[in-house]
């Protein structure tokens, strides 16, 4: 392997692409996009916990913070609220996987907050979806009167002005249904607005929102990037032509520099342990996500087939299955949905049970699915969604599929529904 100094700070992914004459696969980049940050012979990454970093010994080499070029300063460390080596390594991998420079945050909501503060719109059009983002918009309304509009309401969209934000979550929480990004890009262009996308439910390789016109792609890295239910993180990836200074915005500082500078003051940086766990987890992102997505698809297909056949416990107790694969466009190879999600749909789906009581009791009957909120981990979870979302229909359970054997998950759901049926009949 080439040494660190030969690779330099330009980014290993670019150098490897030049050496191979093509972009390397997603998994190769998951394992190698941070190689340029290796400044030790150890193969496994270190975890640097320092909050502060020594300045150069030689007085002539001292460059005050305000004189450094933020775009070229990846190996220049001062204080960990600005940036720290372990989280920077995590960002190096994510920048390659997401297709745009990535900035990490302490949580998904910290990332969403930083994005809204940075873009500073007067209005944000937002759909249903993750309720926490609505909470941030309410805080912003208190601070500066920001107006929240309904993304799915044409009359509301007509109120948007240049510089405002269309925020699209796809696939949606909690149903796993997708929304057409090209449609919203067109709207954003007509209105002079930014298109921001919460892509948490479909990490790479399931979806690339930059291909469909996103200006910023947001992820709760707590979910699939972490993947083991043991770390909080948030990520903003910036469309490349907006990221660097002097680009799309005619001489303005780039969005990468802008977001980093504002993060220094917001203070919502990732911890070093989380950055280290994140690096470890990203190595297996594609393996995990593809397995989880395949498992989910098999379970949804099985549930849908049972429901269609009738005369069984699934047909008796489940009256609706929601997932992108169940949307009508999924059966049309030329549809926006198949173009937007060519590698499969997300690992989360929702079931509507016959009554609220059924939804509340099903989780307690299962052996393999933990009854818990959140998603994206290797463990399958099920949640009576009313537990954490006051606005949702109380008959809904959300399922986040893990990496277990799908037949085991199927049999667990089947025995759980049977046990529930027996209990509620009596
Ligand atoms: C979990 C989640 C968030 C919030 O992320 P945190 O890391 O919990 O702050 C935002 N959007 C979606 C779609 C999520 O699932």
Spatial distance between the Cα atoms of 215 and 177, rounded to a whole number of angstroms: 22
Whole-number pLDDT of residue 8 = 40
Please tell me the residue having the least CA distance from ligand 1 atom 11.
Answer: 130
Is the beta carbon of 134 within 6 A of some atom in ligand 1? no
Give me ligand 1 centre to Cα 84, in Å: 23
| Claim to verify: residue 216 and residue 344 sit in the same structural domain | no
Residue of the CA atom closest to atom 1 of ligand 1 = 220
Cis omega (within 30 of 0) for bond into 174: yes
Does the C-beta of 130 come closer than 6 Å to ligand 1? yes
Same structural domain, 94 and 192: yes
- Residue 65 and residue 99 in one domain: yes
| Full pLDDT tens readout for the chain, 426 residues | 443 333 344 578 888 999 999 999 999 999 999 999 998 999 999 999 999 999 989 999 898 888 877 665 567 899 999 999 999 999 999 999 999 999 999 999 999 999 999 999 999 999 988 999 999 999 999 999 999 999 999 999 999 999 999 999 999 999 999 999 999 999 999 999 999 999 999 999 999 999 999 999 999 999 999 999 999 999 999 999 999 876 444 556 799 999 999 999 999 999 999 999 999 999 999 999 999 999 999 999 999 999 999 999 999 999 999 999 999 999 999 999 999 999 999 999 999 999 999 999 999 999 999 999 999 999 999 999 999 998 899 999 999 999 999 999 999 999 999 999 999 886
What is the extent of the structural domain holding 41? 4-283
Residues 321 and 249 in one domain: no
As for how many domains the chain has, the answer is 2
Domain finish residue from 283, 307, 332: 283
Q: What is the pLDDT of residue 248?
A: 47
Does any ligand 1 atom lie closer than 6 A to the CB of residue 232? yes
Would you give the end-to-end CA distance of the chain in angstroms? Answer: 67
Specify the CATH number for the domain of residue 155: 3.40.640.10
Residue 200 Cα: closest atom of ligand 1: 13
Q: Which of 129, 132, 270 should be mutated for ligand 1, with most atoms under 8 A from CB?
A: 132
**Residue 109 near ligand 1, beta carbon < 6 Å:** yes
Cα 334 to averaged position of ligand 1 atoms, centre (Å)? 31
**Same domain, residue pair 321 and 256:** no
Which residue is closest in CA terms to ligand 1's atom 2?
A: 220
Quote the Cα angle for 163-68-10, to 5°: 80
Q: Which residue has a Cα nearest atom 5 of ligand 1? A: 108
Ramachandran area for residue 145 (φ above 0: left; ψ -120 to 50: alpha; else beta): left
Residue 131 near residue 391, CB atoms below 8 Å:
yes
Domain closes at, from 254, 283, 312: 283
Are 250 and 293 contained in the same domain?
Answer: no
Tokens of 133: 């983002």
CATH of the domain at 412: 3.90.1150.10
Q: Are 171 and 322 in contact (CB under 8 A)?
A: no
The predicted pLDDT at position 73 comes to 59
Pair (39, 152) in one structural domain: yes
Whether 168 and 258 map to the same domain: the answer is yes
**Ligand 1 neighbour 322 (Cβ under 6 A):** no
Final residue of a domain: which of 283, 301, 331?
Answer: 283
Residues 202 and 253 occupy one common structural domain: yes
Ligand 1 atom having least distance to the Cα of 169:
13
The alpha carbon of residue 266 and the mean position of all alpha carbons in its chain are separated, in whole angstroms, by: 21
Tokens at 312, concatenated: 């069984």
- The answer on 377 and 235 residing in a single domain is no
Are both 204 and 294 inside the same structural domain? no
- Looking at the fold, whether 203 and 276 belong to one and the same domain comes out as yes
Contact criterion met (CB below 8 Å) for 98 and 111: no
């Amino acid at each position: 392997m080439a040494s660190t100094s030969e690779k330099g700070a330009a980014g290993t992914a670019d150098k490897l692409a030049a050496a191979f004459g093509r972009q390397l696969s997603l998994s190769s980049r998951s394992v190698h996009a941070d190689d340029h940050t290796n400044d030790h012979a150890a193969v496994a990454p270190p975890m640097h916990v320092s909050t502060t970093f020594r300045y150069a010994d030689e007085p002539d080499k001292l460059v005050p913070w305000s004189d450094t070029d933020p775009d070229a300063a990846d190996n220049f460390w001062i204080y960990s609220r600005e940036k720290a080596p372990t989280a920077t390594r995590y960002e190096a991998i994510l920048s390659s996987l997401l297709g745009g420079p990535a900035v990490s945050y302490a949580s998904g909501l910290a990332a969403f907050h930083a994005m809204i503060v940075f873009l500073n719109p007067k209005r944000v059009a937002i759909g249903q979806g993750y309720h926490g983002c609505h909470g941030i918009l309410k805080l912003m309304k208190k601070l500066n009167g920001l107006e929240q509009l309904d993304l799915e309401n044409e009359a509301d969209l007509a109120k948007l002005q240049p510089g405002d934000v269309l925020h699209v979550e796809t696939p949606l929480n909690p149903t796993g249904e997708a929304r057409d990004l090209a449609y919203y890009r067109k709207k954003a262009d007509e209105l002079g607005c930014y298109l921001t996308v919460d892509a948490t439910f479909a990490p790479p390789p399931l979806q690339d929102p930059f291909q469909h016109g996103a200006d910023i792609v947001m992820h709760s890295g707590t979910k699939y990037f972490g993947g083991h239910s043991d770390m909080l993180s948030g990520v903003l990836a910036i469309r490349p032509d907006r990221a660097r200074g002097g680009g799309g915005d005619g001489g303005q500082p780039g969005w990468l520099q802008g977001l980093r500078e504002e993060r220094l003051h917001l203070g919502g940086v990732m911890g070093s342990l989380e950055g280290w766990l994140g690096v470890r987890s990203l190595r297996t992102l594609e393996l995990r996500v593809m397995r989880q997505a395949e498992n989910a698809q098999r379970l949804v297909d099985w549930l849908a087939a049972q429901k269609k056949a009738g005369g069984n416990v699934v047909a008796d107790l489940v009256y609706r299955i929601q997932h992108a694969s169940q949307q009508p466009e999924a059966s049309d190879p030329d549809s926006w949905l198949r173009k937007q999600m060519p590698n499969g749909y997300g690992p989360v789906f929702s079931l509507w049970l016959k009554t609220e009581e059924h939804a509340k009791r099903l989780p307690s009957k299962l052996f393999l699915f933990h009854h818990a909120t959140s998603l994206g981990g290797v463990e399958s979870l099920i949640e009576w969604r009313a537990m954490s979302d006051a606005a949702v229909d109380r008959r809904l359970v959300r399922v986040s599929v893990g990496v277990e054997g799908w037949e085991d998950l199927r049999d667990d759901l089947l025995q759980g529904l049977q046990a529930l049926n027996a209990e509620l009949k009596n």
